[in-house]
Amino acid sequence: MQETGFAACLTVALRTLAQLSGTWNLPPPYRCAPTVGHVTTPAKHARHRLQIDAALVDFVEQELAPAVELDADTLWQGLADLVTEFGPRNAELLAERVRLQQSFDAWVAQRSPAQLLDVAAQVDFLTSIGYLVAEPTELAIETEGCDPEIGEMAGPQLVVPATNARYALNAANARWGSLYDALYGTDALGSAPPNGPYNQARGDRVIQYVRDLLDRYVPLADGSHSDARHYVVKDAQLQVELGDGTLTGIADSRQFIGYSGRALAPDTVVLRHHGLLIEICFDPTSAVGAGDPAGIRDVNVEAAITAIVDLEDSVATVDAADKVAAYRNWLGLLEGDLTAPVPGRGVRRLESDRVIHAPDGSEVVLPGRAVLLVRNVGLHMYTDSVLDQDGAPIPEGILDAFVTITASRVDLQAGAGLRNSRAGAVYVVKPKLHGPAEVRHAVAILAAAERIAGLPTGTVKIGIMDEERRTSGNLAACIDAAADRVAFINTGFLDRTGDEIRTWMKAGPVLGKEAMRAAPWMLAYEDRNVDLGIAANFPGRAQIGKGMWAAPDRMADMLDRKSGHPNAGASCAWVPSPTAATLHALHYHDVDVKQRQRELAAAGIRTRREQVLMPPLAADLDEDLVQQELDNAAQGILGYVVRWVMQGIGCSKVPDINDIGLMEDRATLRISSQLVANWRLHGVLTDAQIDEAFQRMSFIVDEQNSDDPLYVPIAGSMNAPAIIAALRLVREGADEPGGYTERVLTEVRRQVKTHG
């Protein structure tokens, strides 16, 4: 049948793009068919069997090598050796992914819908093909040398794109947050802040709320912080004068950590609860302090104790120039000299550490910044920023490991200024790993890069993101594969669900996104991640993480709901902003994570891995629900893709279909595109329905971006790159390895950068 209207225009646009685009170079079976024409290839320089983009050569030779005091030629030799040693294995592991998926597809095709529900039969089959491996009989990590923020403390964690210097600085500086600002400036107390000047009634409510928190977290021996008139340090003790003139102190004197200023008139008093610091700030001459009986101007809390600087899902790095910009920011963070202009507010830079007096008057240094981890890309991504001796792009994860670990040497050098890791560690988070063999491969690369950088063995720790189905099914073996280096595991609903859909793509229609959140396999997955982490001796050595709260403007909802993460036994969970980190920190005061982990340890492992493998197939799908899910997916895909391909923004607050701002990255795109691709494959949705939804949503996306002066409208333009990319993600999603979105996004973004 001949295509007409929207579909016909789309087909022409897709063909036009294919004729213009260059090849996305991946090893078989990830390689796409060559296309006609090529993007402009940047100049390359020969270095030790490699051809390297000029921008990367300049960065390594003029910035990185001098900063780390290593010879550039030695570094290039090291990179060439990494590529030679690990490049072939990388391709083998990707081929194994495809073999396993094709074997599973063939098994699915031979079974009835009822037979697909037989998890025991599935386990037998997956074991027979090597998808599942034997679980270790003993499981205990041996990681040593982690910072307290990684091994011992529990608190919020930020994830920030490495390409945005200002955001990266904000994340690093989010170690401390103002409760007064966070409560006054958000809806945390149930209503949005009023417009206009300071609202005294709201301010009084915030102050009373914080006083109530102090009574819960650091109670006085007698009376209430609300009745305090003076805080003084005398005889190495904190004394508090109440309104009636009586003196009291902290009920547990061990909570008093120190003070700044004069003992009898301190500028700050620092207290500790559940391992996190609370800072009461005094200034009776300030606007707030002048009206406070005790002269308190603010109360700060330790907020984001760790932050992940991301080179993966939250960035749009499609060429050497993009990668160098990200690498330069990472190096600047470690050198301590990264700056970024803030319109109307000067220049942002890293905060210094805080120096206070201990109760006995001796000096104590408190960390002023979050401990930074860096997230490299997954095995499936390749970059032509560097070509191997055969002229083929190299695994991008090898380049990431080489640069980020070498740059980390700056932080460990004698005389380093603003230290990131006081323990002398480097933390590399590795995403999208499929099973223990890939974990071992990643560990080997990190260890080799560690040697190239001249770092002591064991310096580099790995964070394993439990976001792929084969990792979930083999999590114990994955942990065991990195037992002497693992410092972090976490769960992620979006990526994990995206891979679940891709795994079952050929079996039948899957559950919708909301139903998937409550599916038995998802609940087991979330519990098992924590249980195995605790069983593997993570408490005291490594982090157990949970996923993102995506709505930065809905802090009241976050306060109500995100306590579930520490209650689940997680020692960290992701938040979308420094303000959210400040408020989420309260959950770690409400929940004693160490005690909670002891309770869970006593209960034992609550789940079996068979529960994680339960099919997410839908027995029936309501027509209205399908349309609602389609509209949500189409709007979300377009809203994210248009910024990615047109402006190179990999993470931002994207309004959903109800105009609720959500922090989105490629994980959101993966689940949405995979869901629509699955329903399209099985006839739940037709191409006409999908085309109509994307066409309709393009007008909504234009309206939602109308205030952005850089935005290029897409509605009514069927050859708009964003619409082309969005529909390709859906139409090609059923056959895309892993259901990943990077290939399509990169192709279209590079065309936009080249041709406009």
Query: Is the CA virtual torsion 475, 479, 480, 481 positive or negative?
Result: positive
83, containing H or E segment: helix 72-109
Q: Could you give the count of Cα atoms lying within 13 Å of 154 in the half-sphere of its Cβ?
A: 28
Task: Identify the active-site residue in 47, 175, 375, 469.
Answer: 375
Cα–Cα distance measured from residue 101 to residue 131, given in angstroms and rounded to the nearest whole number: 9
Give CA separation, 327 vs 93, 164, 228, 399, 405, in Å. Answer: 26, 11, 49, 10, 11
Cα–Cα distance measured from residue 426 to residue 68, given in angstroms and rounded to the nearest whole number: 14
- Three-class SS state of 158: strand
Tokens of 148: 């307290």
Amino acid at position 730, single letter = V
Give CA separation, 536 vs 426, 462, 475, 480, 599, in Å. Answer: 21, 15, 11, 9, 15
Question: In sequence order, what are the beta bridge partners of 220?
Answer: 250
Cα–Cα distance measured from residue 208 to residue 227, given in angstroms and rounded to the nearest whole number: 11
Phi, psi dihedral angles at 300 (to 5 degrees): -105, 150
Cα–Cα distance measured from residue 593 to residue 569, given in angstroms and rounded to the nearest whole number: 6
Residue whose structure tokens are 């085309």 = 691
Tell me the three-class secondary structure of 25-68, residue by residue: CCCCCCCCCCCCCCCCCCCEEEECCEEEEHHHHHHHHHHHHHHH
665 catalytic residue (yes or no) = yes
Tokens of 96: 């194994």
Say what angle helices 320-335 and 396-412 make with each other, to 10 degrees: 20
In 591-622, which residue ranges form alpha helices assigned H by DSSP? 593-603, 609-612
Task: Identify the active-site residue in 470, 665, 666, 691.
Answer: 665
Amino acid at position 475, single letter = L
- Residues with catalytic annotation? 375, 665
